[in-house]
């Protein structure tokens, strides 16, 4: 069996991590929205599991998942706006161009400090 290329391995990890995060968020949202509350009576002792969530908390969960979560997933997989992409490319070019200058400055500084 042939090995997957390194890039494909990293993409596969990202996909797996994304699916895991979506599943955890879905389960958490379902727990809050379904509002599961169990009351058990064992030997005249009442045990309550779950606390019941307020309407405000349910609204906050829906807002966080729909706005925050889905926006982050969309930006990761589909990319951000064209302006932000251009800015990222510019920053990358600046960083690549400054590396030789920084290396030269370090080398010059090292030569000056030699006895």
* Residue 5 confidence (pLDDT): 60
Residues 48 and 70 in one domain: yes
Say what percent of the chain tops pLDDT 90: 0
Residues 18 and 71 in one domain: yes
Residues 40 and 95 in one domain: no
Residues 87 and 73 in one domain: no
Residues 73 and 108 in one domain: no
Using the structure block, give the residue that is written with the tokens 């009442």: 46
Residues 69 and 94 in one domain: no
Residues 72 and 110 in one domain: no
CB distance 62 to 77 below 8 Å: no
Q: Which residues form the domain of 107? A: 81-115
Our count of domains for the chain comes to 2
- In tens, the pLDDT along 26-80 reads 887 888 888 877 788 888 888 887 777 788 888 888 788 777 777 777 777 776 6
- The pTM assigned to this predicted structure is 0.46
Would you give the DSSP letter of residue 25?
H
């Amino acid at each position: 069996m042939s090995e997957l290329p390194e890039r494909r391995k990293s993409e596969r990890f990202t996909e797996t991590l994304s699916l895991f995060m979506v599943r955890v968020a879905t389960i958490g949202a379902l727990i809050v929205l379904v509002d599961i509350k169990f009351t058990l009576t064992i030997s005249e002792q009442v045990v309550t599991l779950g606390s019941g969530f307020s309407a405000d908390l349910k609204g906050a969960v829906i807002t966080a998942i729909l706005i925050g979560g889905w926006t982050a997933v969309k930006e990761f997989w589909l990319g951000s706006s064209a302006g932000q992409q251009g800015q990222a490319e510019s920053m990358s070019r600046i960083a690549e161009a400054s590396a030789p200058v920084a290396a030269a400055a370090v080398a010059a500084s090292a030569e000056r400090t030699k006895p």
